[in-house]
Structure 1
Amino acid sequence: MQGTSLLERVSFLIPHGMLHIVLVLLIPLLSVGARDTANGTTDGLALLRFKASADSSKKLSSWASSSPCSGRWYGVECEGGRVVRLVLENLNLTGPVDAITELDELRVLSLDHNSLDGSLPNLTSWRYLRSLYLSHNRFTGPIPDSISLLSRLWRLDLSDNAFNGSIPSSLSALPKLLTLKLQENRLSGPLPNLNLTNLQEFNVSSNQLTGPIPKTLSNFSAASFQGNADLCGAPLLTCDTSQPSNPDLSKNPMVVASSPSSKPSALVTNKKAPVKLGTGALIAIVVGDVAVVVLITCFFIFYYWKKHNQSESPSKKKSNVSSEKLVFNAVNYHLPADTDKGRLVFMDGRKQFELEDLLRASAEMLGKGTFGTAYKAVLEDGSMVAVKRLRDFNAMAHKDFEQHMELIGRLRHPNLVGLRAYYQSREEKLLVYDYLPSGNLYTLLHGNRGPGRTPLDWTTRVKIAIGTARGLAFIHHQCKPQKLIHGNIKSSNVLLDKNGNTCISDFGLALMANTSVVVSRLVGYRAPEQSELKKISQKADVYSFGVLLLEMLTGKVPAHMYGYNDSADLPKWVQSVVQEEWTSEVFDLELLRYKDVEEEMVTMLQIAMACVSRAPEQRPRMSQVVKMIEDIIGEQQSPQGGDSFDSISLSTSVSEEGGTAR
């Protein structure tokens, strides 16, 4: 059968009546492949034309193979056979960039620090563009209005060029814009009233702009506007509105420049005659001054008298706690009677302070959580602790609570908040933890999202992710009769110490509480099976951790948390975007400023999606999650030098599957 065509060979295998059906199905597929190949060829030709006009220094010698997606072309990255990323910085490129506009699948374009020139062409073909970096070149002419049609644009940097004309007001049509850098150009005219709610970086310094700064831009620092002599308003000097900037007196028929006497009386009589006060007014002023002096003197006498009396009765001061200092009194906390006073039990057996010292401490509320209210307490020696006042635990038997506290107190790991002591009586149960001063993940991710905010960078997010995973894996590996679980994984329970290390709080408390109540409060992090079974498990912990990863990757608040109306069901939302859009649509806009981390972000997203699988048996174990995240950052061992959860153990532990730990 040598010399026969592919169609002839196929015809031997397919009945004659079915052949036309196969052709109907096959031809469209072949045409799609041919179209993709043709588009890829078009990208290659466009890049070669750009090289021919711009690369006089022969820096792009690798652009020689047949396809730009071969992986050998410097600065070129592809997806699906199309060029999506072009980064050509510091290559001494010259000439215009018109040829590049044919790359209609481009997402990132960076041509910083070259010698490219000419005016920018029509940019409407870059409809998918996210980032455009053209700084430190020699571009001239106005900023084209076609930029406002790039509705997916996040970063726009045209600084250090020679652009002239006005700043287009149509830039307000870019709702996702995070960065707008136009400094060191020749732009003139007034600043437009740009209504860009997501804008975080803005700079128009060293131009020729005039007039007042719009209120929508006044939140940025003065450095963003300096070098524009005729620009005024916050945060620069206040605009002078008393006189026109360039009054043309010749156009005013009431003023004759050569005859001062001809000015209207309204303009001449600006000075007011001095007002003389009568005798009665003078007496009233003197009496008022004397009265003010007497009142101030009485206030100071009363203040020092009260302070003197307090210093003479220290025993009374010690026995009566000020309601101003005692936050617990503000929530109707009272010392229990002597018959049921209970005692403060320290986990290491060493008494560090008395219960009265704790209640007498200066304190402030940190927040209300699933299991109670947390306070920061500052003791008399200056040391600080966190105190959680539990709710819904009073019905628990005294002995059961004591045994459970002993179990939690013995869990020691660098990524867990240490339980220092506990107190229980018939009416009250208090837990005393180490105080961590750097806040929680929820505040770092979602607090103050606006101008002046310091974003949570990618490196910090990865560090928090691996710390949380290690702490949770450690909990899952510790067991007595049954597997230990956390039961309340969420961003507000992920805390940071003064060195930025991650610690999980509230671990172990879910086992003591009513399970259905705990599950009902896990809104946003609740595994699908928990809605029906009302049961907490290690697999449900993995699901909650997956949602936590999605929260860090997307910057979005899980569904209906903390009263947010615009929050999303993260797993469903991410799944729909990944299926219908380009994957980077899901990532937090604050992460897109960091270059060369896209691959790590995508890998972390894949880990998160594995954790939030609807079927519990398809979710990985936390020990596997730790290994996967360590592979991303190239770290195979914990800071202790051994396995992050087996090296610090209570006793003979069992694995997450119930067998003996290896």
Structure 2
Amino acid sequence: MGSLPSPLTIFISIATLLLFSSPCKSAYGAPMPNETDALTRFRLQTDAHGILSGNWTSGDACSASWRGVGCINGRVTLLSLPSLDLRGPIDTLSGLDDLRILDLHSNRLNGSILPLANCTNLKLLYLSGNDFSGEIPGEIASLKHLLRLDISDNNLKGVIPVEISQLTHLMTIRLQDNVLSGQVPDFSAELPDLKDLNFSNNLLTGKLPNELQKRFGDKSFAGNAALCGSSPFPDCSLISSPTASAQTVVPSNPSSLPTTTAAASPALKQRKGWSHKGLGTGAIVAIVLGNVVALLLVVSFVVAYYCGRYVEHSEANSKAGSDKGRNYSSHGGGGDSDGTSGNSDRSKLVFIEKRTRFELEDLLRASAELLGKGNLGTVYKAVLEDGSTVAVKRLKDANPCARREFEQYMDVIGKLRHPNIVPLRAYYYAKEEKLLVYDYLPNGSLHSLLHGNRGPGRVPLDWTTRISLALGAARGLAQVHEEYNMSKIPHGNVKSSNVLVDKNGVACISDFGLALLLNPIHVTARLGGYRAPEQVETKKLSQKADVYSFGVLLLELLTARPPSQSGHQDDMAMDLPKWVRSVVRDEWTAEVFDPELLRYKNIEEEMVAMLQVAMACVTQQPDKRPNMLEVVKMIQDIRVEQSPLGEDLESRSSLSPSLAATDDAMTNF
């Protein structure tokens, strides 16, 4: 991805636009559109965290100088709201027909970009790092004044429209990291001012135009395995047809697996049969084997669910290999001996999405840092040679699963995409070694934020942030339950250490479904204080048990007391729900709440409301617990009007828009 626009760049751009902008006159003397109303509807649709509520709720968008809004002659000409975790469609922005600059990069916006075709005065358009889907519309040709087009790192599919050639003023086109297919149009003659072009990491096919390759370099087209042309791309004579080259996916049997919504993952399971260096013999063999295996994949997903029941027969294998700082696998890239093909091409990293950025050897050479050991495996932070960072989980106790069931199950896990779920990016299978590759989330876990460094100098986790993290985790878990409502597949391991925080302070649940690879008896024993009462006898995982575990997580967030790790239900001092019930049996009391929360003012009602949600979740009878969609609604209804301490934005931590000061500074309150 190219560099993002800096505040100085945007300032200069605004100044430049002022020089050649003229007042906008509505056609036929009609009144100006209600742009304030359009922006208000945009806020209501996308600002789930209330970040824009500060001054977007009063006055006129221009006269009140709304955050990120710039105006000329009373018309909105600039909207710059990057990295605010905005989520939802941008349909309402179609009413801003005098908009010149739109910068919404690094949010979670989704839907189609077609509504922007009505913003015919746009000159700078920055939408990278969102979740936009669908095709790039041919109507983009209406943006005749466009200079910069950056819609990279989204989920856009289809062909690159030839209508882009009509945007003759374009200086930048960035379409990398999408799911675009088809051939690369030759814009050389039509776009003489084009200085920056990037089509890398898509699914483009066919011959690469020589002039574009010479003009913009090989890196602008890297990561498109089916492109051919001049070196370093393969000779086009070696690839019979783009269609054949794209069909390297080995699909799971759709009748044997739970279905997911199409919107959840528009770029799934693109397993390339060759690298950018060309089509190899091993790849051809893999394609043939893949087509055969596709016909034989009739094993039900239920088999994957129960494959872990055989773990007791392989206890010795579950402990194979020791943790190594720079090497996750004692078997390297070798094959396995579980009765499947020993072809070495089968023992490579398998990427869930289309972007294959590195090989297994790159991962094994990476600088690795141990992040922690959990019930399901050991997690490392791996820094690759190109500087990118991923999280690698080395599974334990999953060895009894045969390759076929494991791969089917990874397909199911990998399909799940949601802003509050850590996505599975790739996996590696060998009989004695299984690795999972995820995005690396730099802000750690809810567990570490709650319980880490409780001494002097600690930055307390403030109330606004706790509600935000709880809501994000609830939404992620609700998505799991809704996606697999028919098959009742649970998360299976809900706890605070599995709620991770991304660079924008958004909570994402991790480890979805991994517990189902193991023997349920072993899994429930490891749940500790998050284990539902019925699991003591049934030893089964369920969505209702997930709700109970989430309720314990909410109690942990409110009390800052970790649940019992032993899971002994008769240990009242360690059983968090029992302890809370004993304290609040007669009336709600401040003794329950984390002392760090008691420093804030006027949040007692909100804390009590959250406590009520938690107690509903940890009801003893499973049928009386709410479902996760109801839990999400209950948390959303807890209104947080403002930060408890009212700090200025400039003094807050990047983790949270309302993170309190350190303990040392708190003595002033």
> Which category describes the TM-score, using the shorter chain as reference length?
0.3 to 0.5
Q: TM-score scaled to structure 1, two decimals?
A: 0.45
Q: Is the radius of gyration larger for structure 1 or structure 2?
A: 1
Q: TM-score scaled to structure 2, two decimals?
A: 0.45
Higher relative contact order (CA closer than 8 Å, sequence separation 6+): 2
